[in-house]
Amino acid sequence: MPFTESLTIAPHITGYPGVAFGGHVAGLLAARADAKEVRVDFRAAVPVGTGLVLAEGPDGGAVIRDRSGTELATAVAADLAVEPPEPPSWFAAEQATERERARLLRNPPPIPDCYGCGQAVAPGHGLKLLPGRVEDRPDLLACTWVPDRELAGPDGTLPPETVWSALDCPGGWAGMRLGRMPEGGVTAALTGTQLRSVRAGEPHLSYAWLLGQSGRKTTVGVALATREGELCALASALWITPRGTVGG
């Protein structure tokens, strides 16, 4: 039946300052959309710490609006037309993570408190994903990931908004590290699906790859799997480099 809910996104769930983390927004919408595979389009920046409305959209979709009624993000049923590459081994992902950690000591990240990849955030206040280049796999970024228990619900599983968050940030890094996307890109659309539960405290693999680039548009694939390589969630994302961005 139709639904309308009040919503406020916590201030720490950000990528860029003051803007709600795209994967988190997408997961909130995907959880309410009547489809297994969902495309979320971001129409305007979704603010944190302020009142929003989450409501039913057309054809079983969902929408987030601000208090004035402006649509900020929408979700609709979609076909996820992406095939994930073979996942890296746990050892290869560990090595990629450590290489990226060493690189960031030399070159600090542009957004140190990002909800997806910030490393100094408090437990439960971020995912702390750290994808790096995989040796002998020049087309792949990967990292190991053990989700904080504070990210989970009472049953120990991650809610959809946290799983979808894990499908966001690694794609941006793939666009920058494997492609030509400059810093400053934003997630314009995220199409994904969750295939199995993701439990806090258990080891997982996160990996991302480049699908294509054209002008200011970059398309990437992102996957989340168990340590053994069983797929948990999969997505493709369109990233846009805003006009006026250096290199955009």
Cα dihedral 218, 221, 224, 228, rounded to 10, equals: -140
Give the closest residue to 30 by CA, choosing from 208, 240, 195, 206: 195
> Residue 248 above 80 pLDDT?
no
Q: What percent of the chain is modeled with pLDDT above 70?
A: 98
Report whether 35 contacts 2 (CB < 8 A): no
CA-closest candidate to residue 233, choices 168, 187, 178: 168
The reported pLDDT for the residue numbered 222 is 98
Give the count of beta carbons closer than 10 Å to the beta carbon of residue 196.
14
pLDDT value at position 110?
81
**Does the structure show a pLDDT above 60 at 247?**
no
Average pLDDT over residues 192-201: 98
Tens-digit pLDDT profile for residues 50-78: 999 999 999 999 999 999 999 999 999 99
DSSP 3-state of 201: coil
Q: What is the mean pLDDT of residues 146-172?
A: 97
Q: What does the pLDDT average to over 9-34? A: 97
Tokens of 126: 């971020």
3-state secondary structure of 13: coil
- Would you state the pLDDT for residue 201? 97
Quick check: 71 and 55 in contact, CB under 8 A? no
Q: Which residues pair with 62 in a beta bridge?
A: 56, 75
For 137, the 3-state DSSP assignment is strand
pLDDT in tens, 73-127: 999 999 999 999 999 999 999 999 999 999 988 988 888 999 999 998 999 999 9
The pTM for the full model equals 0.96
Q: How confident is the model at residue 246 (pLDDT cuts 50, 70, 90)?
A: low
DSSP 114: -
Q: Give the per-residue pLDDT at 191.
A: 98
Mean pLDDT rounded to a whole number for the chain: 95
* pLDDT score at 2: 76
Identify the sign of the CA torsion 45, 7, 195, 166.
positive
